[in-house]
Amino acid sequence: MKLPGLRLYALVYLLFLYAPIFLLPIFAFNDGTIIAFPLKGFTTSWFGQMFGNDTLARAVRNSMIIAVSSAVLATTLGIFAARAGSRFSFPGKGGIMGLIMLPLVLPEIIVAVSLLVVLLGMGMTLSVFTVILGHVLICTPYAIAILNTAFSSLDRSLEEAAVDLGETKWSTFRLITLPLVMPGIISSLLISFTISLDEFIIAFFLAGNEPTLPTYIFSQLRFPKQIPMIMALGTCLVLLSIVLLTIAEYFRRRGIARSGGKDTGGFL
């Protein structure tokens, strides 16, 4: 059964999804200050402008610190929860897991506002650290979703076999479990990193005076003069995201193939 109409629709839909991303490099290399057609000519000067910008440099540094810390912490918390969720049953499991996964559906503004109120109430100064607290919260559900696949495709008797052959709980985890879920862990680190790097609302509320990449971009979008440079920056970010995602996808698939499971789909 072939439906040529449906296939055409799918291709048009993909074009719709990718249209903004295709435009990005076009304007990043366009030698004109106004983001509109017709194009003016080729230039790489917008990329050059990026490197001389001190605020941008600070934003990049902050975002890297935030994204790396959030990725590591969220993945660590994700390992605990995914292991507990895929291996043990205990009363109230649904409720506890529900709370942990809640940020997946909760509007980010609610997370941001409520954290802001509490952190200020505790007398904390808004900084890179407070953004990390928020980002760990929203990255953890994604980490769990990825790690759940890794942990539940792990045959339980592999760990039992290691214990049966004389290993302790911990050496079994180190020798068997960890190597087998490692692709999932790498995939989770990369995805969490990407989410954190891109997150705007929580950073907007919780960063205080510290710029992060998205808040910096947001602040510059008001100034038409800055926009070509932002296009160049965006091009770099999109490239980085695609590279990270491709690596993450590679490890996710390898993990499934390794533990002999069946590939059932994407990240979510």
Q: Which of residues 206-245 bind other proteins (CB under 8 A)?
A: 214, 217-218, 221, 230-231, 234, 237-238, 241-242, 245
Q: By CB under 8 A, is residue 52 in contact with other proteins?
A: no
Q: Please select the residue that binds other proteins; options are 15, 19, 57, 247, rule is CB under 8 A.
A: 19
Helix (H), strand (E) at residue 152: helix 128-152
Which among 93, 71, 69 is positioned nearest to 82, based on CA atoms?
Answer: 93
- The sign of the dihedral angle between the CA atoms of 80, 81, 86, 87 is positive
Q: Please select the residue that binds other proteins; options are 57, 161, 243, 247, rule is CB under 8 A.
A: 161
Q: Which of residues 87-116 bind other proteins (CB under 8 A)?
A: 87-91, 93, 96-97, 99-100, 102-111, 113-116
Interface segment toward other proteins; rule CB under 8 A; list 44-52, 60-68, 84-92 = 84-92
Separation between Cα atoms, residue 253 and residue 69, nearest integer Å? 25
Quick count: other Cβ atoms within 10 Å of Cβ 226?
20
Separation between Cα atoms, residue 58 and residue 106, nearest integer Å? 30
In the complex, the smallest distance separating the C-beta of residue 115 from other proteins, rounded to whole angstroms, is 5
# of chain residues touching other proteins (CB under 8 A): 109
In the complex, the smallest distance separating the C-beta of residue 42 from other proteins, rounded to whole angstroms, is 19
In the complex, the smallest distance separating the C-beta of residue 3 from other proteins, rounded to whole angstroms, is 7
In the complex, the smallest distance separating the C-beta of residue 169 from other proteins, rounded to whole angstroms, is 9
Helix (H), strand (E) at residue 116: helix 108-121
Separation between Cα atoms, residue 260 and residue 163, nearest integer Å? 21
